Amino acid sequence: MPHPFKQPPRTIDRDGFVARFGAVYEHSPWIAESVFEEGLTPRHDRPSGLHEAMKKAVEASPRDQQLALLRAHPDLAGRLAMAGGLTVHSASEQAGAGLDQCTPEEFNRFTALNDAYKAKFGFPFIMAVKGKSRGEILAAFEARSTNDAASEFRTALDEVHKIALFRLREL
């Protein structure tokens, strides 16, 4: 069965691999580096196999490194987004959900939710927004803001893994 990547990951040298897959997890090339160091096999030539290995690297990392991964994500519809300062991946994902077209009221609501969420949990609200509307995102934001810290940390990591799989499939 042909591989979905233009070039099978296991045929790429370390620098090329990290350059190609280092941004799959937001500002966290250490994940691609870790996967490469573990060794690539034919199963890594498909998005699902590479995603499994990358997810395993994140899950095996210390909590402080996982927290740094969460903190590497931008606010949804936040000031950085409005100033054009997002990564290409994040900008595309947020635009796909219409977050670049917020009304002033929606922007103010996102800003208030972002600030309260970060104050409570210590990292930004993270959601795989592909296929979601602004209303669905706001509803999830409000619902998840009531979670306890441990369950929200787990939910945020799970959302990061979903985002990574979407990104791998796009590659």
Q: 147 with 127, same domain?
A: yes
User: How many domains in the chain?
Assistant: 2
Give domain status of residue 37, yes or no: yes
Which pTM was predicted? 0.91
- Report the share of the chain in percent with pLDDT over 90: 73
> Does 98 have pLDDT greater than 70?
yes
Domain end marker among 28, 47, 67: 67
Domain end marker among 19, 39, 67: 67
Tell me the C-alpha distance between 127 and 152, whole Å.
11
Give domain status of residue 137, yes or no: yes
The token duo for 106 is 């929606």
Tell me the C-alpha distance between 24 and 58, whole Å.
12
Q: 89 with 163, same domain?
A: yes
Query: Which whole number is the average pLDDT over 11-40?
Result: 97
Please, which residues have CB within 8 angstroms of residue 89's CB and are 6 or more apart in sequence?
A: 23, 26, 167
Give domain status of residue 99, yes or no: yes
> Does 14 have pLDDT greater than 90?
yes
> Does 33 have pLDDT greater than 80?
yes
CATH of the domain at 125: 1.10.3330.10
Q: 121 with 149, same domain?
A: yes
Give domain status of residue 2, yes or no: no
| pLDDT tens per residue, range 140-159 | 999 999 999 999 999 999 99
Q: 149 with 80, same domain?
A: yes
Higher pLDDT, 110 or 148: 148
Q: 52 with 82, same domain?
A: no
Tell me the C-alpha distance between 41 and 50, whole Å.
9
* Angle, vertex CA 23, rays to CA 38 and CA 1, nearest 5: 60
Per the listing, tokens 């927004």 go with 129
Q: 165 with 100, same domain?
A: yes
Q: 60 with 30, same domain?
A: yes
Give domain status of residue 85, yes or no: yes
Q: 82 with 155, same domain?
A: yes
Q: 83 with 112, same domain?
A: yes
> Does 2 have pLDDT greater than 70?
no
User: Domain limits at 25?
Assistant: 9-67
Least confident of 89-98, 110-119, 147-156: 89-98
CA 4 from chain center: how many Å?
Answer: 21
Please confirm, yes or no, whether 73 is among the known catalytic residues.
Answer: yes
Q: What is the DSSP string of 72-108?
A: TSPPTT-HHHHTT-S-HHHHHHHHHTTGGG--HHHHH
Domain end marker among 49, 67, 85: 67
Neighbours of 69 (CB within 10 A): 22
* Nearest by Cα to 24 from 51, 61, 49, 64: 51
Q: 106 with 156, same domain?
A: yes
| pLDDT tens per residue, range 34-93 | 999 999 999 999 999 999 999 999 999 999 999 999 999 988 776 655 656 667 787 687
Catalytic residue among 3, 44, 51, 73: 73
Higher pLDDT, 125 or 101: 125
